Amino acid sequence: MNTVKCECGHVNPPGTVLCEACGRVVAEENDDKKLLDMRYEGSARRSTTYNQTIIDKIWNFFSSVKVGISLIVLTLIASIIGTIFPQESNLNQAVDPSVYYPEEYGWFGKVYYLLGFHRLYESWWYMLLVASLGVSLVICSLDRAIPLYKALKNQRVKRHESFLRRQRIYNRQPGVLDEKEILVVKEKLRKKGYHVLEDEGDLLAEKGRFSRWGPYVNHIGLIIFLFGILLRNVPGFYVNEKLWIKEGETRVIPGTDKEYYLENHQFLIEFYDESDGEVFKKALEDKGAIIKNFQADVILYEASEKSLPGETPTLEKIREAEIRINEPLKAGQFSLYLATYDLNIQTLEFSLIKKENNENYGNIRIDLENPEKTYNLGNGYKVDVLGYFPDFDFVDGEPVTKSPNPNNPAFAFKIITPDEPEGEISFVAVQQTIEPLGENDYKLEFQTMDTAYAIGLIVKKDLTIPFIAIGGAIFLIGVAMGSFWQHRRIWIKQEDGDILLAGHTNKNWYGFLREIETITESTVLPNPIDQTEEEESNQTRGE
C-alpha cells in the first residue's frame, strides 16, 4: 500500500479517491465517471488502508457496512424468533418447560425448546450478536467520522476544475468577477446564512456542516444505550427481586443489605358493586366481581445499625405508605411494586366436644406460625399438641409434612379430660379425624379459620435508567441533526476568463438549486444546472 501523490503535489493517504487538497480525482477507477461519489468527501476510509496484522483484520471486518447490516438483520430475525412462543421467564413458574412446549405447541414447540429458543434473549449467542452490533457501530463510526472530520476541516477554497465539473450542480460561462462584484456575492451568501471564504477571487461558501455529524451523534447515543444495558450485570446497578410479606409481618427488602425493612400492615381489596352507580350494572352482571382497588398499607423502616444475617436490628420507622398497582413505594433507590397477593391460613379454631352429649368444653385457637404445646381449658380439660404437620400426608403409614407451608395442616392431639386423665390421642386434619388408639370419648371439632393476605411485591432498582435516557436523547438529537439540517457548499472559481460555479449538498437538491438561483440572479454568475436532470432529459430526448 502506497501513499498517493496528486498532480498538485499533495501527498494523500492510501485509499484516497479525491485529493484532500485540490479535489482532483486520484483513484484510477473514478477517472471516467461524469459525477463524483462525494461520500466521506472521497477521503480514505481508514479500515481499507492497512491489512497486515490480526488486529487489522478484525478491525476491517467490523468496519464493513455490509457486515453491520448483516448483523442487524440477524439480530432482527433472532428477536422475531424469540416472540413466536412465550419465553420461559413469562411462563407460570410451576411448569416444566421441557414438558410445556411440546404439549402446548406440538413438534414445533419441541424443536423450539430443544434449540434453546425458550431462553433466547438470555442465550450467549444472542448476547454476542448484540455485542457484535455494538462493536460494528463503534468501529464503523470511528473509521468514517474521523477522516470525514479531517477532510471537512482541511478544505481549501481553490479546487481543481475537474472536481467542480463533476459536481451534480455545476455551470461554467464566460465572465469576470471584479472585487465589487465579489463583495455583492459574498453579502448575498452571508444573508442566506453561508460562511464564506475567499482565496484570490475564488470563493467557498458553506453552511450546516454540523448536520454531517448527525449519524455519528446518533451512534454515540446508541453506544451509550448499549452500555447502559451492559451495566445491568454490574452488581449494585440493577435489582429485580420478589418479596412476599404476610399481613402483620416485617421483612427485609432484598438488595438493601439489611438496611430497609417493610411491614405489611394490611391489605385491602375492593370490588365494584351497586353503590358505584348504574353505569356498572351491566358489566357486573356480565363479568361478575370486578376488582376496584388493590392496596397494601405498609410501613417502611430503616435499620439503625448494621446487623448480621439472622440478627434482628432495631428498626426506625421512616413512613407509612399505600402501595397500589402502578403506584410503587420509593425507598432510596428502590421501588416496590405491588404485583400479586395470596390468601394464607393463619389460625384454626377447634371446639372440644364430648361425643356422648355434644357438650362444648371450650375452644382452642391455634396459630399455625407458632402452635402452643398445651392449650389449657380449665377444670381439668386440656389439649396437648403432640405433633404438627403443616402440609400433611401419609407416607408408609406415618404422618409427614411435604413442605413447611400450611397447605393442608394436621395435628396430633392428646385430649386430657377429668374422665380420661391419661389422655386420648386424636389425629385431626381438615375434614378428617383419626383415632389411632381406639374410639375416644371426646373429639376436637373444627370451627373456623382465620386467613391473612400475603402481598407479593417486586423490588426494583435500576441505576442504568440515566444511561438509557441520555443515550436515547442523544440518539434523537443525532436524528434531528441529520434530518432537519443540510450541509450545503458552493464553490466559485475563475479560470481562463470563465466563471465556474458548483454546488454540493447531502440532501434536498431541489431546494439547494433554488437557493443558488436566488444568489446568482442579477449577477454575472452562471445559473446553476442540475447535471443529473440534464442527463435524464438528454436520455429522454434520445429515445
Least distance from C-beta 376 to other proteins, angstroms? Answer: 16
Burial of 71 (0-12, 13-18, 19+ CB in 10 A): buried
Near other proteins in 157-176, by CB under 8 A: none
**CB-based contacts of 342: which residues, under 8 Å, 6+ apart?**
244, 453, 454, 456
Least distance from C-beta 128 to other proteins, angstroms? Answer: 7
Shorter beta-carbon distance to other proteins: residue 391 or 445: 391
Shorter beta-carbon distance to other proteins: residue 47 or 520: 47
C-beta of residue 220 within 8 angstroms of C-beta of residue 134: no
Which string of x and - marks every residue 501-530 that binds other proteins (by CB under 8 A)?
Answer: ------------------------------
Near other proteins in 220-279, by CB under 8 A: 227, 230, 233-235, 251-252, 254, 258
Least distance from C-beta 190 to other proteins, angstroms? Answer: 38
Quick check: 401 binds other proteins (CB under 8 A)? yes
Quick check: 463 binds other proteins (CB under 8 A)? no
Which string of x and - marks every residue 292-321 that binds other proteins (by CB under 8 A)?
Answer: ---------------xxxxx----------
Shorter beta-carbon distance to other proteins: residue 21 or 226: 226
Quick check: 15 binds other proteins (CB under 8 A)? no
What is each CA distance from 161 to 165, 407, 492, in whole angstroms? 6, 90, 10
Cα four-point dihedral sign 257, 258, 262, 263: positive
How long a stretch of residues is the chain?
543
What is each CA distance from 297 to 235, 365, 455, 488, in whole angstroms? 31, 27, 10, 63
Least distance from C-beta 155 to other proteins, angstroms? Answer: 22
Q: Which three cell numbers stand for residue 305?
A: 445499625
Quick check: 53 binds other proteins (CB under 8 A)? yes
Least distance from C-beta 234 to other proteins, angstroms? Answer: 7
Quick check: 181 binds other proteins (CB under 8 A)? no
**CB-based contacts of 161: which residues, under 8 Å, 6+ apart?**
493, 495, 500
Shorter beta-carbon distance to other proteins: residue 176 or 400: 400
Which of residues 15, 68, 82, 390 is near other proteins by CB under 8 A?
390
Least distance from C-beta 461 to other proteins, angstroms? Answer: 15
**DSSP letter string over 164-222?**
HHTSSEEEEEE----HHHHHHHHHHHHHTT-EEEEETTEEEEEE-GGGGGHHHHHHHHH
Task: Give dist(CA 184, CA 426) in Å, integer.
Answer: 113
Least distance from C-beta 310 to other proteins, angstroms? Answer: 4
Which of residues 114, 176, 400, 465 is near other proteins by CB under 8 A?
400
The DSSP secondary-structure symbol of 408 reads B
Shorter beta-carbon distance to other proteins: residue 367 or 535: 367
Shorter beta-carbon distance to other proteins: residue 401 or 520: 401
Which string of x and - marks every residue 107-136 that binds other proteins (by CB under 8 A)?
Answer: ---------------x-x--xx--x--xx-
Shorter beta-carbon distance to other proteins: residue 13 or 362: 13
Shorter beta-carbon distance to other proteins: residue 66 or 373: 373
Residue among 167, 44, 98 nearest 502 (CA): 167
Least distance from C-beta 473 to other proteins, angstroms? Answer: 22
Quick check: 213 binds other proteins (CB under 8 A)? no
Quick check: 55 binds other proteins (CB under 8 A)? yes
Quick check: 46 binds other proteins (CB under 8 A)? yes
Query: What is the C-alpha R_g of the chain?
Result: 40
Residue among 54, 33, 44 nearest 3 (CA): 44
Secondary structure percentages of the chain, helix, strand, coil, to 5:
35, 35, 30
Least distance from C-beta 308 to other proteins, angstroms? Answer: 4
What is each CA distance from 77 to 72, 120, 223, in whole angstroms? 9, 12, 21
Tell me which H or E stretch contains 461.
strand 442-462
C-beta of residue 129 within 8 angstroms of C-beta of residue 71: yes
**How many positions of this chain bind other proteins (CB under 8 A)?**
47
Shorter beta-carbon distance to other proteins: residue 86 or 371: 371
Which string of x and - marks every residue 131-160 that binds other proteins (by CB under 8 A)?
Answer: x--xx--xx--x------------------
Cα four-point dihedral sign 426, 432, 436, 442: positive
C-beta of residue 294 within 8 angstroms of C-beta of residue 338: yes
Tell me which H or E stretch contains 88.
none
Near other proteins in 360-389, by CB under 8 A: 368-371, 373, 385-388
Residue 98, SS3 per DSSP? helix
Quick check: 198 binds other proteins (CB under 8 A)? no
Quick check: 403 binds other proteins (CB under 8 A)? yes
Long-range pairs for 375-383 at CB < 8 Å and ≥24 separation? 377/352, 379/418, 380/416, 380/417, 380/418, 380/421, 381/352, 381/416, 381/417, 381/418, 382/415, 382/416, 382/417, 383/352, 383/413, 383/414, 383/415, 383/416, 383/444
C-beta of residue 420 within 8 angstroms of C-beta of residue 442: yes
Shorter beta-carbon distance to other proteins: residue 54 or 279: 54
Least distance from C-beta 159 to other proteins, angstroms? Answer: 26
**DSSP letter string over 27-44?**
SGGGTT-SS---GGGGPP
Quick check: 289 binds other proteins (CB under 8 A)? no
Contacts with other proteins by CB under 8 A lie at 46, 50, 53, 55-56, 58-59, 122, 124, 127-128, 131, 134-135, 138-139, 142, 227, 230, 233-235, 251-252, 254, 258, 307-311, 368-371, 373, 385-388, 390-391, 400-404
